[in-house]
């Protein structure tokens, strides 16, 4: 993914969301009220594409939201603050030094009068991670991906399982804006884990078609994730049986199935 182009603007319930590519496979998400020039950005790992889109489209940066500490999500913040003195919202992680508005579970971030996002604490990928949810939109960072979930760099399988369970209760129509274009690789593993799941096969065909045209596979919907994402399907009998074959032993809980499936994917990456 190169250049400073952006995905098509998506309007949802009076909110405009625009994805800007960064690095090889990151998305930086712009959020604002439809018709307004004021926008917030989520996880600006690189300032250059953000600045170019702001200037090209005549937009005004109003806030920065951070999901976790990794540099491909935070690396552009310092330069952006030199140009635009805006608040930076993020979780209570002392390592993210640019955050001046610390948030945690249940806090509401208001981006103007039209946009309100609720904070979900979702550790697992890192020991501190936040997702942002509101008006049918979920900005999931590196917790939930299209067809997958984040690696466990600092957190435990139990933490990530609990975080995904928190997300899984949101409505099916929730639009999931994750931070990376990992969908094809994720679905290849999902097909390995559930070879008889026709929903996964159909989704993989559609995702490949989109990528062949240079289009993003994000956002997805939470309903689609429940049908095709093995990391939300830890209670499915077929997936459980596959995980038990890989582990060579019975698995007695959804959390245990999740842990085995996460380890299984790690061995293939």
Check if 269 is active-site.
Answer: no
**Which one of the listed residues 43, 46, 121, 125 is annotated catalytic?**
125
**Which one of the listed residues 43, 93, 121, 142 is annotated catalytic?**
142
User: 70 is written with which tokens?
Assistant: 């990794």
Number of residues written out for the chain = 269
**Which one of the listed residues 46, 73, 93, 236 is annotated catalytic?**
73
Check if 209 is active-site.
Answer: no
Q: Is 129 annotated as a binding residue?
A: no
Q: Is 72 annotated as a binding residue?
A: yes
Check if 70 is active-site.
Answer: yes
**Which one of the listed residues 93, 121, 180, 236 is annotated catalytic?**
180
Q: Is 263 annotated as a binding residue?
A: no
Q: Is 68 annotated as a binding residue?
A: yes
**Which one of the listed residues 46, 70, 121, 129 is annotated catalytic?**
70
d(CA 70, CA 45): 8
Check if 180 is active-site.
Answer: yes
Q: Is 79 annotated as a binding residue?
A: no
CB 220 within 8 A of CB 180: no
Burial zone of 7 (CB within 10 Å; 0-12 exposed, 13-18 middle, 19+ buried): middle
Check if 129 is active-site.
Answer: no
Q: Is 209 annotated as a binding residue?
A: no
d(CA 11, CA 15): 5
Burial zone of 194 (CB within 10 Å; 0-12 exposed, 13-18 middle, 19+ buried): buried
Catalytic residues: 68, 70, 72-73, 125, 142, 180
Which residues are documented as binding site for Zn(2+)? 68, 70, 72-73, 125, 142, 180
Binding site as annotated, residues: 68, 70, 72-73, 125, 142, 180
């Amino acid at each position: 993914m190169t250049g400073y182009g952006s995905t098509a603007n998506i309007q949802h319930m009076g909110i405009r969301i625009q994805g800007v590519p960064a690095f090889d496979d990151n998305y930086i998400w712009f959020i604002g009220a439809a018709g307004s020039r004021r926008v917030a950005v989520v996880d600006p790992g690189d300032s250059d594409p953000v600045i170019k889109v702001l200037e090209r489209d005549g937009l005004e940066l109003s806030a920065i939201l951070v999901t976790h500490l990794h540099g491909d999500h935070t690396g552009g913040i310092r330069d952006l603050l030199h140009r635009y003195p805006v608040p930076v919202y993020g979780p209570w992680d002392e390592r993210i030094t640019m955050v001046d508005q610390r948030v945690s579970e249940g806090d509401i971030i208001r981006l103007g009068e039209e946009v309100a996002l609720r904070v979900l604490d979702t550790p697992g990928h890192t020991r501190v991670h936040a997702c942002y949810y509101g008006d049918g939109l979920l900005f999931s960072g590196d917790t939930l991906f299209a067809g997958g979930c984040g690696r466990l760099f600092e957190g435990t399988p139990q933490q990530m399982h609990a975080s995904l369970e928190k997300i899984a209760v949101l409505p099916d129509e929730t639009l999931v804006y994750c931070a990376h274009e990992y969908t094809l690789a994720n679905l290849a593993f999902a097909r390995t884990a559930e070879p008889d799941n026709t929903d996964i096969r159909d989704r993989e065909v559609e995702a490949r078609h989109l990528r062949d045209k240079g289009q993003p596979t994000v956002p997805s919907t939470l309903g689609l994730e429940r049908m095709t994402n093995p990391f939300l399907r830890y209670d499915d009998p077929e997936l459980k049986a596959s995980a038990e074959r890989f582990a060579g032993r019975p698995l007695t809980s959804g959390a245990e199935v999740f842990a085995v499936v996460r380890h299984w994917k790690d061995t293939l990456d």
